[in-house]
Amino acid sequence: MLEIVAAIDIGGTNTEIGLVDRAGACLCRSALVTTDFADPQEFVVAAHQLISQLVETASAQVALCGIGIGAPNGNFYHGSIEFAPNLAWKGIVPLVDIFKRFYRVPVVLTNDANAAAIGEGMFGAARGCRHFIVITLGTGVGSGIVVNGELVYGHDGFAGEIGHTIVDPDGRQCNCGRRGCLETYASAGGIKRTVFELLAHSNSPSLLRSKSYEELTARDIADAASEGDAIACEAFEITGRILGLKLADAIAHTSPEAIILYGGLAQAGELIFEPTRRHMENFTLNIFKNKVRLLPSALPQGLAAILGAAALVWNELEKAV
């Protein structure tokens, strides 16, 4: 019998579910449409059915050891999703309790960026590191901070919100209700806002002048920068400067040996890594200079969130031994 966990990555649109072994191999996976379920109870019934199907059809005989869930606004201590702006389930959803009606194995939940951090530590770019930070540069900017090999949850389970540290208290409006959060600059939407400011400010010709705000994507900006588009290149430079500045602040807090960038905007590769690394080093206090590696995720594209959710529960199972 091969020991496996069911890993569940809940996104605003889709939920991915996979069976993952202790070494981080995903045996099989499938998906649900999150938005099909107005009620979280119905969602769990459907997830339970899907996991049973995966277990039955897996290529090996498997023993289910636990369930790991990564979700937006997931709280590890409470086992709940709390006030997630991008989900239809409002208020506090005690998802772990609902799952436990169907399972006697451990069920663990955390937010998606924390799951990514545990995944990178167990299977990815931070393997062997005891002090590191994972930053997800996607629709928003999430983070998971690891100190002494343990994820930092803080006293309420919500620690690691580097995306909501403040770059400029009079700056851009953020979905969190405040202004000038890192997320409004260093996310996929943030670099788009920077491009629109630059298009307004300068007269330079740009490939990006033909796209509406709704049309323009971070991928378009990366493609334009690869072709040498001055506006797109400057947008990456500005984004890297702001991200580098706030990463230098993060280094001053927990002094990690590595920071891993992950998610849509990180896929722009050196376009975002080079300016971020340069400015991070420039803004970093002397004693930390040239010590912190800025790395891309080493989790396979498309599987990262599932491996993160799997690592979360393997991690807890190991602690329980």
Phi and psi at residue 245, in whole multiples of 5°? Answer: -60, -45
| Closest to 134 in 3D by CA, of 106, 111, 109, 167 | 111
- Which one of 101-109, 195-203, 205-213, 278-286 is the stretch in contact with a second copy (CB under 8 A)? 278-286
Identify which of residues 197 and 257 has a Cβ nearer to a second copy in the complex. Answer: 257
Q: Nearest approach, Cβ of 74 to a second copy (angstroms)?
A: 12
Selected binder of a second copy within 27, 159, 230, 298 (CB under 8 A): 159
- Which one of 18-26, 89-97, 193-201, 249-257 is the stretch in contact with a second copy (CB under 8 A)? 249-257
Across 195-268, the runs of DSSP E, i.e. the strands, are 258-262
Number of residues that bind a second copy (CB under 8 A): 43
- Which one of 6-14, 112-120, 279-287, 312-320 is the stretch in contact with a second copy (CB under 8 A)? 279-287
| Closest to 257 in 3D by CA, of 162, 146, 160 | 146
287 touches a second copy (CB under 8 A): yes
The span from the CA of 309 to the CA of 206, in Å, is: 41
User: How distant is the alpha carbon of residue 265 from its chain centre?
Assistant: 11
The span from the CA of 240 to the CA of 262, in Å, is: 14
Binding mask 101-140 for a second copy (x = CB under 8 A): ----------------------------xxx---------
Residue owning tokens 């343990």: 150
90 touches a second copy (CB under 8 A): no
Q: Nearest approach, Cβ of 246 to a second copy (angstroms)?
A: 8
281 touches a second copy (CB under 8 A): no
Work out the number of other CB atoms within 10 angstroms of the CB of residue 55. 17
Which run of H or E residues covers position 69?
Answer: strand 62-71
The span from the CA of 18 to the CA of 26, in Å, is: 6
Quick check: helix, strand or coil at residue 283? helix
Q: Nearest approach, Cβ of 155 to a second copy (angstroms)?
A: 4
In the complex, which residues of this chain contact a second copy (CB under 8 A)? 82-83, 129-131, 145, 147-148, 150, 152-162, 164-166, 169, 176-178, 245, 248-250, 252-257, 283, 285-288, 291
